[in-house]
Structure 1
Amino acid sequence: MLPWLEDQLPKPRLAHSLRVEAMAVDLAQHHGLDPVKAAQAGLMHDLAKYYPAEKLLAMAQQAGLEIDPVDEANPHLLHADVSALVAQQTLGITDPEVLAAIANHTLGRPAMSPLSCVVFLADTLEPGRGKSDDLKRLRRLSYRHLPQAVYQTCDYTFAHLINKAKPIHPRALNTRNWFLSQHRTKS
């Protein structure tokens, strides 16, 4: 898998994928999840990151994936779902939990599994993303309470998107709201 990634991804993106893998493994071990699955999903989460927009849309349409108008306007948002397709079709990954964690790493999904939460959080919070106080707080929270970390990480991302006048995908909003409701009912 690593040679394929080295051939397909620029070095900075490969370094990011390796950091996501490491953080996902650490979070998985901390939360009693399978570190091997976390490593696989973390390493493969951006397989389609650099596919052209037309290819992302075509692969998503061919696979029958739901395509939102926000996806049509911003096809790069499909890279997570398409990365899961590539993992399955090109690299032979068959574990549904690993494939879901890859597919959910950008927009999340309401009621996503703890493994998906771990990869979602590792993608945004890996150490290469910065050392701001907000990121440090979210990293600490990700070890204490996955649902709370997911919705607060969504809030962090939304603030960035709003500041840049970019759209917020409905699935990301639904993810945030679902995990917020879980935190409120279980805390």
Structure 2
Amino acid sequence: MRIVLASASERRKDLLQIICNNFDIIVSNFDESCIMYNGDVKSYVMDLSKGKAMNVCNSLKNSAIVIGCDTLVFFENSILGKPKTKEEAYHMLKKLSGNIHKVYSGITVIDSNTGHSISDYVCTKVQFSHLTDDQIEKYIDSGDPMDKAGSYGIQGQAGVFVEKIDGCYYNVVGLPLNKLYYMLKRIGVNL
């Protein structure tokens, strides 16, 4: 069965290659702003992943298993998305400095042939060390935080900011492989 990753993320592509060596990528053009955050971060992130997967699923002419995913950083009852400016990245990293935050990923797997879908989520706690302004500014100058939820990527230079994690490392990168593997099995895909 054809597998389609509904994502433009290079990180998700690289992670999916760990468990699946043959898949296609079709970038979802789902409008995330149509999903309103109602205070339930778990439902919100699953709804985003389902929207992305459904958007791609509806564009297919042949049957496939479609994987949608969305990852966000949650701290002090706020969602920290991708920063729009360097100043926003600075403020996010300053908030995370010396604190524990949560990274949520919602995953949806859809069989386009049957319409059967499964949505689930993963949450990982991440503890940052105390960061100096110099560390934060140097990291922002690298350009790395600008396309990442919470303004950091654990798999890159910001890995040194992470004191410890409680949960799935791959979730923090952007695609929780253990959860995805067993969701694919449940829908009938044996990798």
- On whether the aligned pair clears a TM of 0.5, the verdict is no
TM-score (norm 2): 0.31
| Greater C-alpha radius of gyration | 2
